[in-house]
Amino acid sequence: MNSPDLKNDASHQVWELDRRHFLHPFTHFESYEDSGSLIISGGSGSEMTDSNGQTYLDMIGGLWCNNIGLGRKEMADAIAEQVAKLSYSSTFTDMSNEPAARLASRLAELAPGDLNRVHFSTGGSTAVDSALRLAHYCQQCAGRPEKVHVIARRQAYHGSTYATISIGYKEADRRHGFRYIEDTIHHVSEPDLYRAPNGMGEAEFCDHLVKEFEDKIAEIGPDRVAAFFAEPVMGAGGVLVPPGDYLKRMHEVCKRNDILYVSDEVVTAFGRLGHWFASEDVFGIVPDIICSAKGLSSGYLPIGATIYSDRIHEIISTGDPSRVYTSGFTYAGHPVCCVAALKNIEIMERENILAHAREVGDYFGERLRDLEGMKLVGNVRGIGLMRCLENVLDRTTKEALPEDVDIGKRVSDAAESLGVLVRPIGRLNVMSPPLVVTKSEIDFAVDRLGQAIERVHDDLVREGWTPV
């Protein structure tokens, strides 16, 4: 991303203020110091406009969260009305507010099985962090105090608090200088069928993953494992769709060993796969805990929700009259954020956005497969409105380009110059457009992405590479 036109003084001033003072999440210092940020000044629907007036089709969906589209006046009006009525109230201990109570009830209606209890937070990281504390507390209250260990997958992303960045294990995020919880958090392999070991087929790979999980539980001790954390579809780790009945089998292993199954639906919930929640509707499991955020308010305001079962609530709330659930946040159940979430759900229902997402998600997958024959494109994968291209040097051997080539960023920069925003993650380009994206917008995005890949391919050839 390049600095703004120096002739635009106001734009350049904002760009410079940002560069001098704003430490962005996941900043790469060298490139940021050189190029700064793309300053977004406006947005409507699936489009964003930068401070110079350049318009882009946002195929990132903000950050997996712009579900109903940007700039909806109906959302702004609902938020403004609530601000005037009650801009804040604490929800600690025995205080609450009407929007929080109504949203908790609505989420209980939408969630699968007996997941009827809701603990609000401020976003995805805090929702997952809360799930970890809840899992520990539940096991303690159930008389299993040794169950403090958790298992997750490599290449998972579960947030960026100290606990959640430790539960996740994206190799690119494990940077020298930061510390991680390593004594009670363990990891097994990610379900990456494209790079399955020894050329395993889907069924064999699934068996391999489940056995690895069972072996890890045996190694730690089943009486010491509190919870298993898993995204239904791994998002930032590469849009990895689980093979076969992998998730069902992992869920069954958890049940056999009194391990709580935590489904991190921060990305997949609220329509990303065309359903309110993906755990049951797409993958046939009812977890013990679901973590949600992002699409809950379509990014209009920050809010997260940890939704858990009646069974867990019975365990933690009865038996000892001295129990106090000492976990929560100042902005938990914030009335304005809850109103935004309620209005977001209302809009999605009224406009039948889930059905639209299923239809256009299938179309998106079909169109992206048009790029499969291109050099550099090793794998096209995904489901619904979660899609990914994996760029490689050799499509037969799956050999990757060296990290310093920064292939994902080069493709995304080229696409940006053509008016389309896609997300670079290492050698990947990840896309998660708003759920209201149209087929014509998808056509535009895929065509421009193809042109961007061609440009990058030609540049690499000039530099001496030979993609095949």
Determine the pLDDT at residue 216. Answer: 98
Residue 389 φ/ψ, nearest 5 degrees = -110, 130
d(CA 222, CA 445): 48
d(CA 87, CA 108): 25
pLDDT digits (tens, 9 = 90+) for 98-139: 999 999 999 999 999 999 999 999 999 999 999 999 999 999
Residue 226 parent element (H or E): strand 225-230
pLDDT digits (tens, 9 = 90+) for 269-307: 999 999 999 999 999 999 999 999 999 999 999 999 999
Determine the pLDDT at residue 6. Answer: 45
Answer whether 242's CB lies under 8 Å from 191's CB: yes
d(CA 460, CA 383): 30
d(CA 107, CA 98): 14
Please identify every stretch of the chain with a pLDDT value under 50, giving residue numbers as ranges: 1, 6-7
Centroid of chain to Cα 400: 24
Answer whether 314's CB lies under 8 Å from 81's CB: no
Kindly compute the dihedral angle of the four CA atoms of residues 56, 60, 63, 65, in this order, to the nearest 10 degrees: 100
* Cα atoms in the 13 Å half-sphere on the side-chain side of 69: 17
**Cβ-Cβ contacts under 8 Å for 321 (sequence gap 6 or more):** none
Determine the pLDDT at residue 30. Answer: 87
End-to-end CA distance of the chain: 28
d(CA 95, CA 339): 17
**Helices 98-110 & 335-350, crossing angle to 10 degrees?**
40
d(CA 120, CA 338): 9
Among 153, 140, 142, 231, which Cα is nearest to 185's?
Answer: 153
Tokens of 421: 């925003």
Determine the pLDDT at residue 32. Answer: 87
Answer whether 171's CB lies under 8 Å from 157's CB: no
Q: What is 402-453 written as a DSSP string?
A: PGGG-HHHHHHHHHHHTTEE-EEETTEEEE---TT--HHHHHHHHHHHHHHH
Tokens of 124: 């995805």
CB atoms near residue 276 (< 10 Å): 22
CB atoms near residue 403 (< 10 Å): 10
